[in-house]
């Protein structure tokens, strides 16, 4: 999420989500902190959407909870995908404004032009945001594909014209800034698919990102060419196919698509199933297929599985596990960039340099990438003539201020992560995560004891409950030692006249923690439950 703010007006570019890392136990997704927007609500004019990928639209349902009337501006497919997400959240009415590439919208004194670029999703646009001080050019996610599947290359003329008019600052996609050369055209994947479809003797199962409309079209085209029916597996994929087809982004002949339940009615060599799960997500369709956990479809020996994607950093183990499971079921797996079965949707160094030379910004902010990628992109900008002092490597929450004479970082705003866990938004913080990490690492022990409050003596217990520390049925001797320790602690409390339940609990907690550590070198969370009668 990027905020562009002037004295009188404010617009937001995209509002995505990210998935939790391995340290965020139990967290479903992570979204932006909207506090800075709440503090500027009177200036907030519009949300401008570059394209419909999750990392750019996934946070919109949560944003609209706070700002239900704010205009959401995007191309038809972007808005259709947002609409599908909103149905899951049931937010009520929302203010959608549909635009086409080339259109301009005005909010306050900020005018924004949507400029067509290529990406792995139809309808992607760069944004030329014209403010009273100057133009902010945001590339969104992009690549320069000279032979795109839809026959519609990026609008070089409009990009160059924006550059000729003068650009104050450019924000540009840094995902592939470390990769030399050019990103291969999506059409290369079609050639690879043709070879795969021609050689496969049994059923074909192809997985990619659900929103990769050009990739879906390639699968459809090759299925038609080689006489295969297509079934789509996975709700998100089915939604994208439905909307893209309705809007004219997908050309699927009548009769080519069949229901998954009808696959077995056709010979194996006449079947292609396209599915979600290219990243090894635990509940995704491909992951479930790899462990034979799908009601309507099973992987069998002779199937060919094509994983038309590369693992996102952090997902490598999950993808590898899925591939191994598929091989165990007798499938042949084609994965990664082997045989050009996948190409990136992001610009490599030569395309990034071309964008910089077309736009020729005075200031440059690399975005959308890990820190090292931002640094590399900043170096590329300097090669095109951007002064080193005019390149800003910004992190979440950084505030950059531009004037006619200068630009500088002037501080930080609310840039922290807001974690979503179930229906709770923001109620899981560092303290909760710390406890969850502790539980995952060392487990939990509960002590249940009943005491006579007046006489300060034990009536029942102490009983031990262990989860993730010891398996009690196999730890009889250790359990007896710990119970003896607890009995001694309670007797000491009685002798010393300690009757305050809080103090008794603290003695139990500290004493048992010490005893467990001495016996096992483990530090579980200890929860005493003391009941009075």
Q: Buried b / exposed e across 174-212, counting CB within 10 Å, b at 16+?
A: bbbbebeebbbbbebbbebbeebbeebebbbbbbbbbbb
Positive or negative CA dihedral for 413, 416, 422, 428?
negative
- Sheet bearing 332-335, strands edge to edge: 229-233, 271-275, 204-207, 304-307, 332-335
Spot the catalytic one: 9, 173, 221, 421: 173
| C-alpha distances in Å from residue 150, one per residue of 118, 225, 296 | 10, 18, 33
Q: Is 219 left (phi over 0), alpha (psi -120 to 50) or beta?
A: alpha
Residue 51: CB atoms within 10 Å: 27
Strand-strand pairing, 44-48 and 125-130: unpaired
Q: 173 an active-site residue?
A: yes
Q: Rounded to whole angstroms, how far apart are CA atoms 186 and 228?
A: 22
For 297-353, what is the HEC assignment?
A: CCCCCCCEEEECCCCCCCCHHHHHHHHHHHHHCCCEEEECCHHHCCCCCCCCHHHHH
DSSP assignment of 74-116: E-HHHHHHHHHHHHHH-----EEEE--TT-EEEETTEEEEEEE
| Contacts (Cβ under 8 Å, ≥6 apart) of 184 | 340, 343, 344
- Whole-angstrom CA distances from 287 to 93, 234, 320, 337 are 36, 11, 11, 20
- Residue 6's closest CA among 46, 43, 47? 43
Token pair listed for 497: 């006249």
**CA angle, 479 then 483 then 488, to 5°:** 150
List 346, 368, 377, 507, catalytic entry: 346
**DSSP assignment string, 363-430:** EEEEESS-HHHHHHHHHHHHHTT--GGGB----TTEEEEE-SS-EEEEEE----EEEEETTEEEEE-H
SS3 track for 203-261: CEEEECCCCCHHHHHHHHHHHHHCCCEEEEECHHHHHHHHHHHHCCCCCCCCCCECCHH
CB atoms within 10 A of CB 9: 18
Active site residue 346: yes
Distance between CA atoms of residues 218 and 308, nearest Å:
11
**Sign of the alpha-carbon torsion through 268, 272, 273, 276:** positive
Catalytic residues: 173, 346
């Amino acid at each position: 999420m990027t905020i562009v703010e002037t004295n009188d007006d404010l617009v937001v570019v995209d509002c995505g989500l990210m998935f939790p890392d391995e340290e965020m136990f139990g967290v479903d997704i992570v979204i932006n902190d909207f506090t800075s927007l709440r503090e500027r609500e009177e200036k907030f004019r519009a949300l401008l959407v570059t394209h419909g990928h999750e990392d750019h639209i996934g946070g919109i349902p949560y944003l609209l909870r706070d700002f239900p009337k704010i205009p959401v501006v995007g191309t038809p497919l972007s808005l259709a995908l947002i609409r599908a997400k909103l149905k899951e959240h049931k937010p009520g009415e929302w203010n959608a404004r549909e635009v086409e590439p080339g259109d301009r919208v005005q909010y306050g004194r900020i005018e924004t032009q949507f400029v067509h670029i290529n990406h792995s999703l139809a309808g992607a646009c760069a944004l030329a945001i014209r403010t009273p001080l100057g133009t902010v050019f945001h590339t969104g996610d992009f690549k320069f594909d000279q032979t795109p599947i839809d026959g519609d290359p990026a609008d070089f003329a409009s990009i160059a014209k924006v550059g000729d008019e003068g650009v104050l600052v450019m924000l540009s996609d840094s995902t592939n800034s470390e990769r030399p050369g050019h990103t291969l055209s999506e059409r290369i994947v079609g050639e690879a698919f043709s070879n795969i479809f021609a050689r496969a003797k049994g059923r074909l199962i192809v997985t990619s990102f659900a929103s990769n409309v050009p990739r879906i079209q390639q699968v459809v085209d090759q299925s038609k060419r080689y006489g295969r029916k297509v079934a789509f597996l996975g709700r998100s994929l089915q939604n994208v196919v439905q909307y893209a087809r309705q809007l004219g982004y997908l050309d699927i002949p009548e009769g080519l698509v069949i229901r998954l339940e009808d696959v077995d009615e056709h010979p194996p060599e006449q079947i292609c199933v396209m599915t979600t799960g290219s990243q090894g997500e635990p509940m995704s369709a491909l992951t479930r297929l790899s462990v034979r956990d799908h009601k309507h479809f099973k992987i069998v020996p002779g199937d060919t599985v094509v994983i038309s994607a590369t693992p996102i950093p952090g997902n490598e183990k999950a993808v590898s596990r899925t591939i191994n499971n598929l091989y165990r079921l007798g499938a042949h797996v084609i994965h990664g960039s082997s045989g050009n079965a996948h190409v990136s949707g992001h610009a490599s160094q030569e395309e990034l340099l071309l964008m910089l030379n077309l736009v020729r910004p005075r200031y440059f902010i690399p975005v959308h990438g890990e820190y090292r990628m931002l640094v590399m992109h900043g170096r590329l900008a300097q090669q095109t003539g951007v002064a080193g002092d005019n390149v800003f490597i910004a992190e979440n929450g950084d505030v950059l201020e531009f004037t006619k004479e200068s630009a500088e970082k002037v501080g930080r705003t609310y840039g922290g992560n807001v974690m979503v866990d179930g229906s709770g938004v923001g109620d899981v913080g560092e303290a909760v995560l710390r406890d969850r990490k502790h539980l995952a690492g060392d487990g939990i022990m509960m002590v249940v004891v009943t005491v006579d409050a007046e006489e300060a003596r034990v009536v029942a217990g102490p009983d031990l409950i262990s989860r993730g520390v010891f398996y009690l049925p196999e730890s009889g001797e250790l359990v007896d030692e710990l119970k003896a320790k607890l009995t001694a602690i309670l007797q000491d409390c009685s002798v010393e006249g300690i009757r305050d339940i809080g103090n008794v609990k603290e003695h139990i907690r500290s004493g048992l923690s010490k005893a467990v550590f001495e016996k096992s070198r483990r530090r579980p969370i200890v929860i005493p439950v003391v009941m009075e009668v």
